[in-house]
Amino acid sequence: MTIRVLLADDQALLRGTFRMLIDSCDDLEVVAEAEDGAQAIALARVHRPDVVVMDVRMPGTDGLTATEAICADSTLANTRVLILTTFENDEHVARALRAGASGFLGKYVTTDALLAGIRTVAEGESLLSPGATKALIGQFVATSPPSQSAPIPATPGLRDLTNREVEVMKLAADGLANDEIAAELHLSVLTVRTHVQRAMAKLGARDRAQLVVVAYKNGLMSSDPRS
What CATH number has the domain bearing residue 88? Answer: 3.40.50.2300
The answer on 211 and 99 residing in a single domain is no
Among 127, 144, 176, give the residue marking a domain's end. Answer: 127
Determine the pLDDT at residue 218: 76
**In sequence order, what are the residues at sequence separation of 6 or more whose Cβ sits closer than 8 angstroms to the Cβ of residue 217?**
141, 142, 146, 152
Q: 196, 172 in Cβ contact below 8 A? A: yes
The answer on 190 and 109 residing in a single domain is no
Beta bridge partners of 29: 4
Q: Which residues of the chain have pLDDT under 70?
A: 86-93, 126-156, 221-227
Distance (Å, whole) CA 133 – CA 177: 14
Amino acid at 186: H
pLDDT per position as a tens digit, 17-29: 999 999 999 999 9
Distance (Å, whole) CA 31 – CA 83: 18
The answer on 119 and 7 residing in a single domain is yes
User: What sign for the dihedral angle of Cα 136, 157, 152, 129?
Assistant: positive
The answer on 12 and 108 residing in a single domain is yes
Q: What is the DSSP string of 45-81?
A: HHH--SEEEEES--SSS-HHHHHHHHHH-GGGTT-EE
The answer on 184 and 84 residing in a single domain is no
Distance (Å, whole) CA 1 – CA 136: 33
Determine the pLDDT at residue 44: 97
Domain count along the chain: 2
pTM, entire model: 0.69
The answer on 99 and 18 residing in a single domain is yes
The answer on 110 and 186 residing in a single domain is no
Determine the pLDDT at residue 172: 82
pLDDT per position as a tens digit, 44-64: 999 999 999 999 889 899 999
Distance (Å, whole) CA 39 – CA 52: 12
Residue 190 burial by Cβ neighbours in a 10 Å radius (0-12, 13-18, 19+): exposed
Determine the pLDDT at residue 87: 58
Alpha helix stretches (DSSP H) within the chain: 12-23, 37-47, 63-72, 90-99, 111-122, 132-136, 163-173, 178-185, 189-203, 208-217
The answer on 52 and 99 residing in a single domain is yes
In a domain? residue 23: yes
Residue ranges making up the domain that contains 182: 155-217
Domain containing 174 — which CATH number?
1.10.10.10
